[in-house]
């Protein structure tokens, strides 16, 4: 049973989702503000977090920043009535693994959570992957460049692993989305592009200045040799 922390000020919604997710095999703890959420996280780290953008004592995006500093590999799914593209982009830029706008279908929320949890627990404890000056541990979700460890989110880790397995070979966006997000991209969905952008910022270019991750228009991405 996966321990889930649900952070949303809508208590009625929390009760409904807790009941649904409980029937689906999740053990749900609910918090209705940032303060209680921080206390709950300090007590026990959950398997995943569902976080609302709007909280009564602050922004959920600010809490997401703290989560990424304290728990870089903790799966986080943003859930908010503010479904504007800018909110989605900000959440993904700050490291959310996925984003759903309210009202959402509980079945889709369940599917997204299961997908992100599967991605956070690699089936095979593969050894480190090395390419040039980059050394990557898929199990730890950590990249080492110039003796500096760089923590990746679950989605970034799966994305980099897929690219490193086929260096120099383009991977289709839909294929990468299935690997990194556990789902297909919908029309105008920039989730994958945002995760690639975040990953690029973290690992930087090759020592000679060339980008490590190259985009091919209308095709996908590849890791350059």
- Distances in whole angstroms, Cα of residue 140 to Cα of each of 49, 136, 161, 186: 19, 9, 12, 30
On whether the CB atoms of residues 143 and 136 are closer than 8 A, the answer is: yes
CATH superfamily placement of domain 2-120: Response regulator (3.40.50.2300)
Structure tokens at 160: 């980099």
Cis? peptide before 42, omega within 30° of 0? no
Which residues, in sequence order, are CB contacts of 126 under 8 Å at separation 6+? 138, 139
pTM for this one? Answer: 0.77
pLDDT tens column, 5-49: 999 999 999 999 999 999 999 999 999 999 999 999 999 889 999
**Domain coordinates of the chain in residue numbers?**
2-120, 129-223
Distance CA 76, CA 95 (A): 8
CATH for 129-223 is 1.10.10.10
pLDDT tens column, 80-133: 776 566 677 778 888 899 888 888 889 999 998 988 888 776 554 457 899 999
């Amino acid at each position: 049973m996966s321990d889930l922390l649900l952070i949303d000020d809508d208590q009625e919604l929390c009760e409904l989702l807790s009941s649904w997710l409980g029937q689906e095999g999740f053990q749900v703890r609910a918090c209705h503000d940032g303060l209680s959420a921080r206390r709950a996280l300090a007590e026990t780290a959950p398997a995943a977090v569902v976080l609302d953008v709007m909280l009564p004592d602050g922004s959920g995006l600010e809490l997401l920043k703290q989560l990424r500093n304290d728990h870089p590999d903790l799966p986080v799914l943003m859930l908010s009535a503010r479904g504007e593209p800018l909110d989605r982009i900000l959440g993904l830029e700050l490291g959310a693994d996925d984003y759903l706008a309210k009202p959402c279908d509980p079945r889709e929320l369940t599917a997204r959570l299961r997908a992100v949890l599967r991605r956070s627990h690699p089936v095979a404890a593969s050894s480190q992957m090395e390419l040039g000056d980059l050394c990557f541990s898929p199990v730890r979700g950590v990249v080492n460049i110039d003796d500096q460890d760089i923590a990746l989110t679950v989605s970034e880790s799966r994305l980099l692993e897929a690219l490193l397995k086929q260096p120099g070979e383009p991977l289709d966006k839909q294929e990468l989305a299935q690997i990194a997000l556990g789902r297909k991209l919908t029309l105008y969905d920039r989730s994958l592009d945002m995760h690639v952008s975040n990953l690029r910022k973290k690992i930087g270019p090759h020592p000679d200045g060339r980008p490590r991750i190259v985009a091919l228009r209308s095709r996908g991405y590849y890791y350059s040799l």
